[in-house]
Amino acid sequence: MNFDLSATQKGFLQKLDSACSSIREYEEKCYLDERMNDRIVPIFGPLGMLGCPVSKIYGGLGYDMLTYALAIERIGAEGASMRTFFSVHTSIGQLVLQSWASEEQKKEYLPETVTGKKIMAFALTEPSAGSDPSSMVTKFEKKGDHYVLRGKKHWIGNGTYAGTMTTYAKDAGTGKISAFIVDGDSRGLRKVEMKNKMGLLTVKNAEIFFDSCSVTKKNLLGKEGQGLSIAFSALVDGRLSVAAGAVGIMTDCLAECARYSKTREQHGGPLAKKQLIQDHIARIAVSIESSRWLVYRAAVARQKLHEYVETITDKGEYWQARLGRGNSEYSELRSRADMLAALAKFHASNSAFDAANRSVQVFGAAGYVKTARVARHFLDSRATTIYEGANEVLELKIASQILGKEYTAY
Ligand SMILES: Cc1cc2nc3c(=O)[nH]c(=O)nc-3n(C[C@H](O)[C@H](O)[C@H](O)COP(=O)(O)OP(=O)(O)OC[C@H]3O[C@@H](n4cnc5c(N)ncnc54)[C@H](O)[C@@H]3O)c2cc1C
């Protein structure tokens, strides 16, 4: 498997590295003040990071999934809070449109998300529908040339400031779930910030209320009844970005532990010379390498699926294939991408939380304050085992792919 990058891709990642270093201090300040980092768009927009894997046709950089994963890994080192902003905007935002929207919808929506004029969100979860989105109660009905949505979503990342979001609702008659593109300023749409989060303090989550929210018929995403297929395919990209970001968390934990343990002296010498401290450091290093391998393989598998889809020119065959019908090559590539993303997210997120926990231990009391990077990684990495498919649900998914569909646990 070849993970080599071109000079252009390397140049992009170098610029991104400088941008991440330049925003570090400000991100910390925003985190401690619990406010959104308002410099992300002006700093990362001109670099193209607000549309890294979005096709050049719509103004993006058009990079492959491996380059995007490497970019997310680097951003992840600045914290899962900042990284979550990008993952929501791109992985479960723009890529959903790129994969499922009509040409007309892509042209209308993608370019302004790439410039940062509009930030994206993905509104699936509801109070009664978390791990099981099929139990959602948000409903839609058709009224003339509009759909009318009624219901409530919660925990929606970027939700307070999203200019465009995708959402998912049940047909009030048939119960089938469809996906919609919703403008942030739609009539009947209300966004309320969720307070008192444990971590991820520079990215904002919202409750989204659809109070008879009117969505024009041309904003149906995909076809009626395809909502869950769309949401589940979005989560594959979401998992990949969470996993890549988790690698970033671990690289920063390792750097912080190495730096601190060399300078902090106890019992007549630096902590770095104590073998039990070295155990923490060695284990974090092992977790980084094992997670990286999974993330890069998952990224390549996702890219292969994307490239295969591009080769299907027959529209009818294309839609059937996406729904998993009648195209064994597509199904195989999709299962592989799905499986590897689940493995990568499960392993990397558990490892990142463990690495952050070890890092706080290495720092002792100095790691128990939010001004310490390792403390913020500890609080933020906790979310990575919950969102984009809680890790228990991913375990069930991994096991059922191995055992066969008849052993699906639920
Ligand atoms: C910080 C954060 C950001 C988020 N951002 C978004 C977003 O942008 N958009 C969005 O739509 N949602 C978002 N979410 C919601 C997230 O996707 C859900 O929290 C997640 O899917 C889990 O759902 P739940 O919290 O309702 O937990 P539940 O589904 O109630 O699960 C609770 C626990 O039970 C376990 N469990 C569930 N079913 C089973 C089973 N069959 N067998 C064994 N164990 C099981 C779960 O793994 C979990 O550990 C976010 C959540 C957080 C915390």
DSSP string, 43-110: HHTTTTTTSTTS-GGGTS----HHHHHHHHHHHHTT-HHHHHHHIIIIIIIIHHHHHHS-HHHHHHHH
State whether the beta carbon of 156 lies less than 6 angstroms from ligand 1. yes
β-pair type (205-216, 269-270): unpaired
Cα 371 to Cα 363: distance, rounded to the nearest angstrom: 12
User: The pTM is what?
Assistant: 0.97
How many angstroms is it from 390 CA to the middle of ligand 1? 5
pLDDT score of 324: 67
State whether the beta carbon of 408 lies less than 6 angstroms from ligand 1. no
pLDDT score of 321: 72
pLDDT score of 315: 65
State whether the beta carbon of 130 lies less than 6 angstroms from ligand 1. yes
From atom 43 of ligand 1, which residue's Cα is the shortest distance away?
392
How many angstroms is it from 407 CA to the middle of ligand 1? 22
Atom of ligand 1 nearest to the CA of 390: 47
State whether the beta carbon of 131 lies less than 6 angstroms from ligand 1. yes
Atom of ligand 1 nearest to the CA of 410: 41
Atom of ligand 1 nearest to the CA of 153: 11
Q: Distances in Å between the alpha carbon of 139 and those of 12, 41, 110, 129, 136? A: 43, 34, 26, 13, 8
How many angstroms is it from 11 CA to the middle of ligand 1? 37
From atom 31 of ligand 1, which residue's Cα is the shortest distance away?
131
Q: Which contacts of 368-375 are long-range, i.e. CB under 8 A and separated by 24 or more positions? A: 370/31, 370/32, 371/28, 371/32, 372/256, 373/28, 373/79, 373/252, 373/256, 374/253, 374/256, 374/257
pLDDT score of 326: 72
Q: Which residues of the chain have pLDDT under 70?
A: 315, 317, 323-324
The predicted-structure confidence for 220-235, as pLDDT tens digits, reads as follows 999 999 999 999 999 9
- Amino acid identity at 141: E
Sign (positive or negative) of CA dihedral 195, 198, 199, 200: negative
How many angstroms is it from 380 CA to the middle of ligand 1? 15
β-pair type (164-171, 120-123): parallel
Q: What is the chain's Cα-based Rg?
A: 21
Contact, 25 vs 91, CB < 8 A? Answer: no
State whether the beta carbon of 394 lies less than 6 angstroms from ligand 1. no
In the block, residue with structure tokens 């401290």 = 277
Among 275, 166, 267, 146, which residue's Cα sits nearest to residue 216? 146
Q: How far is CA 294 from the centre of its chain?
A: 16
From atom 26 of ligand 1, which residue's Cα is the shortest distance away?
130
Output phi, psi for 364, to 5 deg.
65, -140
Cα 376 to Cα 242: distance, rounded to the nearest angstrom: 16
Cα 71 to Cα 67: distance, rounded to the nearest angstrom: 6
How many angstroms is it from 159 CA to the middle of ligand 1? 17
How many angstroms is it from 171 CA to the middle of ligand 1? 23
